[in-house]
Amino acid sequence: MKIYFDKSSIYYNAFKYIFEIFLRNKKINFNYTLDLKSADFIISNTSESDLQYSEDFFDKVYSKEYEFDNFFKNDCFVKNSKGEIDYLCTAFYMINCIQEYGCFEPDEYGRFKYKNSYQYFYKNVEDNIVQQCFDKLFNSNEKLNKLKQVVFRSKFFLSHDIDTVYGSFFQDGFYALKRKKFDVIIKLIMNVVILKHDWLNIDKIIKIESEYDFNSVFYWLVNKGKLNKLERNSDYSIDSKNIRSTIEYVNQKGWENGIHKSISEDSFETEILKLGFIPDGNRYHYLKFNLPSAFNQLQQSGIKLDSSLGFADVMGFRNNYGQPFYPFDFNNNRAYDFVEVPLNVMDQTFYGYEKLPPGKIAKKVISFFEKNNSNSIISVLWHNNFFSNYKFNGYLDAYKEILKYFYENKYECITQSQIIKNKY
Ligand SMILES: [Zn+2]
């Protein structure tokens, strides 16, 4: 499709950015032409064009009116000056998490609060609204709806944050003591004697996933220790023999390693030096980050992929979009160079926030997946310590049940490096 884009608007770059995400979502081949007569599709701010863009939305965003009540009145759609739904501007606002810019009233960790989000207010955290916007735009446009519509079956992305590997003795031990499970206590004591650590179980995780022919990534912390009442970095030293050989083992097996950015004054550059290899991907520890500063740090770091964009306290879409994307950089009026893979499902959400009985987890995750079984890459995080059966009893079974569902329904597993190679 040959596109003529009227460049006279000051928001041309931002509009072109979101329109290109739409085109890639719909797998529409396109190039640009400067010749109006030979164009198949014309975009400008006049009503004679095939797609008219409005500047009202960007006027507000560029003047830092970020909060969702500036845009959403009775529903979650951005409207133009005529009161019509502007699907592309809605997609732009949601995909880029503009509601989080400036993060008012953060939670005790300094994070944007789910309770302050439009998802909470409008109860739509499990809905892929951006996809709905793209579908509506495609179907309602006379020229676009003549093109072939491409739908792909959803895929999934597995990852593991390694926060603690030595906590089993005290945490599982406390669990066993409370329940008078003396056999477990004796086993844990024996583990200490023979220097075996139940949570240094990366080999076990790889074995479980390889049974299904799946693959995943392990995110490592390079800084250690308790920081305050609420926060701690790892309980292991990244330079210890145990950890180094485990990282090497992950590589040898064909799984991936990445960085789990710690709570620290360290820049990415410093942490990567401590890590000892150049990671493709990052996830922020505690999902602690603010926008847009985290995006700017990631850009500076040269990291190719980030997978932090999820709400800690609820399963679903933090940006109501099912696919990885390149966030928009307002400073440079273009997309950042790293790909963001939103996080949708995490063990800690069920354990720490929802207090859901472990037997109900798989069913809940599967129903979310069924609801979004097309056009999505669903990201699932299971911490290594949730693979032991004492304190986190039932979580291993839930994880296996989810993997079994993926396997039996022939959903494809996608890795960090595959995501980086694709264009979104
Ligand atoms: Zn963590």
Span from the CA of 314 to the centroid of ligand 1 (angstroms): 16
Percentage of the chain lying above the pLDDT 90 cut: 82
Q: Is the pLDDT of residue 186 over 80?
A: no
Tokens in use for 335? 């997309």
Class of residue 80 by CB neighbours under 10 A (exposed 0-12, middle 13-18, buried 19+): middle
pLDDT class of 317 with cuts at 50, 70, 90? very high
| Closest to 18 (Cα-Cα) out of 54, 66, 68 | 54
Class of domain 155-165+200-421: alpha beta
Q: Which residue type occupies 122?
A: Y
CA of 285 to the centre of ligand 1 (A): 4
Mean pLDDT calculated for residue range 34-58: 90
Residue 355's CB is within 10 A of a number of other CB atoms, namely 7
Q: Looking at the DSSP assignment, which residues form a beta bridge with residue 174? A: none
What whole-number distance in Å separates Cα of residue 385 and Cα of residue 6? 54
Distance in angstroms (rounded) separating the CA atoms of residues 21 and 323: 10
The residue-averaged pLDDT of 76-99 equals 95
Return the C-alpha torsion angle 290, 344, 221, 97, nearest 10. Answer: -20
pLDDT in tens, 188-200: 666 766 656 666 8
Dig out the tokens for 131 from the structure: 């996809």
Domain boundaries, the chain: 2-146, 155-165+200-421
DSSP bridge partners of 3: 32, 41
- Name the residue with tokens 């004492």: 390
Token code pair at residue 92 = 């732009």
**Closest listed residue to residue 403, CA positions, set 413, 393, 394:** 413
Using the mean position of ligand 1's atoms as its centre, give its distance from the Cα of residue 25 in Å.
Answer: 31
The per-residue pLDDT for range 268-297, each reduced to its tens digit, is 999 999 999 999 999 999 999 999 999 999
Span 174-179, average pLDDT: 70
In angstroms, rounded to a whole number, what is the distance separating the alpha carbons of residues 340 and 188? 40
Question: Cα(282) to centroid of ligand 1, in Å?
Answer: 11
pLDDT in tens, 199-208: 688 999 999 9
* pTM of the entire predicted model: 0.93
| Mean pLDDT, rounded, for 156-163 | 97
Task: Give 50 Cα–ligand 1 centroid separation in angstroms.
Answer: 47
CA distance 111 to 108: 7
Tens of pLDDT, residue by residue over 326-371, are 999 999 999 999 999 999 999 999 999 999 999 999 999 999 999 9
How remote is the CA of residue 163 from the centroid of ligand 1, in Å? 5
At 390 the pLDDT is: 73
CA of 219 to the centre of ligand 1 (A): 8
**Cβ-based neighbour number of residue 346 at 10 Å:** 25
- In this predicted structure, what is the pLDDT of residue 167? 67
What is the SS3 assignment for the chain? CEEEECCCCCCHHHHHHHHHHHHHHCCCCCEECCCCCCCCEEEECCCCCCEECCCHHHHHHHCCCCCHHHCCCCCCCCECCCCCECHHHHHHHHHCCHHHCCCCCCCCCCCCCHHHCHHHHHCCCCCCHHHHHHHHHHHHCCCHHHCCCCCCECEEEEEEEECCCCCHHHHHHHHHHHCCCHHHHHHHHHHHHCCCCCCCCHHHHHHHHHHCCCCEEEEECCCECECCCCCECECCCCCCHHHHHHHHHHHHHCCEEEEEECCCCCCHHHHHHHHCCCCCEEEEHHHCCCCCHHHHHHHHHCCCEECCCCCCCCCCCCCCCCCCECCEECCCCEECCCEECCCCEEHHHHHHHHCCCHHHHHHHHHHHHHHCCECCEEEEECCHHHHCCCCCCCHHHHHHHHHHHHHHCCCEECCHHHHHHCCC
Q: Which structure tokens are listed for 391?
A: 């304190």
CA 261 to ligand 1 centroid distance, Å: 8
Per-residue pLDDT of 228-261, as tens digits, reads: 999 999 999 999 998 999 999 999 999 999 999 9
Gap from CA of 221 to ligand 1 centroid (Å): 8
- Using the mean position of ligand 1's atoms as its centre, give its distance from the Cα of residue 375 in Å: 28
Tokens of 107: 């939670």
- The Cα 369–Cα 330 span in angstroms is 33
Which amino acid, residue 195? L
**Vertex 406 angle, CA 403 and 408, to 5°:** 105
- Between 60 and 178, name the one with better pLDDT: 60
Q: Taking 90 as the threshold, does the pLDDT of residue 383 lie above it? A: yes
- % of the chain at pLDDT higher than 70: 94
Give the model's confidence band at 54: pLDDT under 50 very low, under 70 low, under 90 confident, else very high: confident
Highest mean pLDDT among 120-129, 164-173, 200-209: 120-129
Q: Which of 159, 178, 172 is nearest to 393 (CA)?
A: 172
168 pLDDT more than 60? no
